[in-house]
Structure 1
Amino acid sequence: MKNKIFLYLFVFAALIVLYQFISAGKFEKAVNADVGDLKKEIAVLKDSLQQSQLKILDIQYFSLENNDDALAYYDHLNLKAPARYIEDKLLETNESKGNNPLVPYDGMESDFKINKINVLNHKWILADFSDGKYWGDLVIKYELKDDLGIDFTLLDHLLYTRSN
C-alpha cells in the first residue's frame, strides 16, 4: 500500500512539474512576443521624436535666441535675455486703456491686445492680437536703444475675417 501511495505521489508530482514546464514555455513565448512588440513601438517613437526635434529646430531657426549675428547687436547692453526683455516691453503696450496702440483696428467684442510674440531678429517681431473673438497678426519693426528704450513701428497687419 505504501508503494502505491508513493507511486501516486510521484506521478502527481511529475504531472505538476510537467504542467509548470509547459506553462513556463508558453509564458516565455508570450513575454518574448510582447518584448518584440515593445521594441517595434520604441523604434516608431524614436522616429517620431526625431521628427519632432527637427520641426522644433525649424521653428527655432527664426528666433533671436538662436541668431548669434542678431544677438551680437546687444552685446554692449549686458542683457541676459534680450528677446524676453523686448517681449515684455511689447506686452507693456497692452496696458494702455482701450486697444493696443500698435493694432490699427478697433476691437469688436472688446479691446484688441497683443497675445503671442516671436522676436525674429534684431529688427523684426511677429505678433498675434485678439479681442477674444477676432484675431490677426502684426509685423513690427523695433529699435532697442542704448538706454534700453524701445521704439516699435508697425510694418504690416492682417485681421482675419470669420466665415460663417
Structure 2
Amino acid sequence: MKNKILLYLVVFMALISLYLFVSGGKMSKAKDARITSLRSEVEHLQDSLKNTQLRVLEMQYFSLENNDDALVYYDHLSLENPSSYIRDKLLETNESNGTNPLVPYEGMEGDFKINKIEVLNHKWILADFSDGKYWGELLIGYELKDDLGVDFTLIDHLLYARSN
C-alpha cells in the first residue's frame, strides 16, 4: 500500500513538473515575443523622435534665435533675448482701440489683432492676425534702435477667404 501511494505521488509530481516545464516554455516564448514587439516599437518611436527633431530644426532655420549673423546686430544692446523683446513690442500695438494699426483691413467680426509672431531675422517679422472668424498674415519690416525703440513697417499682407 505504501509503495502504491509513493508511486502515485512520484507520478503526480512528475506530471506537475512536466506541466510546469511546458507552461514555463510557453511563457518564455510569449515574453520573448512581447520583448521583440516592444523593441520594434521603441525603434519606431526613436525614428519618429529623430524625424520630429529634424522637422523642429528645419522650422527653426528662419528664426532670430538661431541666426548668429542677425544676432550680431544686437550685440551692442543690453538685451538678453531680442526676439522676445521685439515680439512684446509688436504685441503692444494690439493695445490700441480698434483694429491693430499694422493690419490694413477693417475687422468684420471684431477688431483684427495680431496673434502669432515669428521674428525671422534682424529685419523681418512674420505675423498672423485674426478677428476671431477671419484671419490673415503680415510680413513686417522692423528696426530696433539704440534707444530700444522699434519702428514697424508693413511690407506685405494677405487676408484668407473664409470657407464655410
Matched residue, 2:62: 62
Which amino acid is 2:124 matched to? W
Mapped partners of 1:112, 1:162: distance in 2: 15
Of 66-75 and 34-43, more deviation after overlay is shown by 34-43
SS at match of 1:77: coil
Identity %: 72
Opposite residue 116 of structure 2, the aligned amino acid is K
Structure 1 CA distance, aligned partners of 2:47 and 2:98? Answer: 48
Identify the residue that residue 160 of structure 1 maps to in structure 2.
160
Correspondences of 1:92-103 after superposition (within 5 Å): 92-103=92-103
- The CA distance in 1 between the partners of 2:40 and 2:119, in whole Å, is 40
Which amino acid in structure 1 is aligned with residue 84 of structure 2? R
Pairwise CA distance, 1:44: 1.4
> What CA distance in whole angstroms lies between the structure 2 residues aligned with 1:163 and 1:150?
36
Deviation at 1:46, TM superposition (A): 1.4
Alignment size in residue pairs: 164
Q: Which moved more, 1:36-45 or 1:61-70?
A: 36-45
| Partner Cα distance (1:142, 1:35) in 2 | 56
Q: Which amino acid aligns with 1:26?
A: K
CA shift, 1:163, in A, is 3.0
Matched position secondary structure for 1:101:
coil
Q: CA deviation at 1:89?
A: 0.5
Partner of 1:39: 39
Amino acid in the other structure paired with 2:68: D
Q: Give the Cα separation in 2 of the matches to 1:163 and 1:9.
A: 82
TM-score when normalising by structure 1: 0.98
CA distance in 1, matches of 2:2, 2:115: 90
**Whole-Å Cα distance in 1 between the matches of residues 14 and 163 of structure 2?**
78
Task: Give the ranges of 4+ consecutive aligned residues of structure 1 lying more than 2 Å apart after TM superposition.
Answer: none
- 5+ residue gaps in structure 1? none
SS at match of 2:105: coil
User: TM-score scaled by structure 2?
Assistant: 0.98
Could you list the runs of 5+ residues in structure 2 that have no partner in the other structure?
A: none
